[in-house]
Amino acid sequence: MRTETFEVRGMTCGGCERRVRDALSELPGVSSVVAEHIGDEVEVTFDEAAVGLDQIRMAIIAEGFAVA
């Protein structure tokens, strides 16, 4: 398992955090997601054999947020 923290711009509330958490939780291999709009951070724990960094970034972007 690997844990990465992404700087995510555009999250403004708990609803935004939930959208990101839900989207990433649906990806295969993702075991944990912690999203915090106040710090513009999303921490993801995942199995590198099942999902890659680009897939995680694309899932965040698909929800309408920017990944720095």
* Domain boundaries, given as residue ranges, for the chain: 2-67
Q: What is the mean pLDDT of the chain?
A: 96
Average of pLDDT values for 37-45? 96
Closest C-alpha to 6, from 49, 30, 28: 30
CATH number belonging to domain 2-67: 3.30.70.100
64: left (phi over 0), alpha (psi -120 to 50) or beta: left
Average of pLDDT values for 44-58? 96
Give the pTM: 0.91
Residue 67 CA, distance from chain mean position: 9
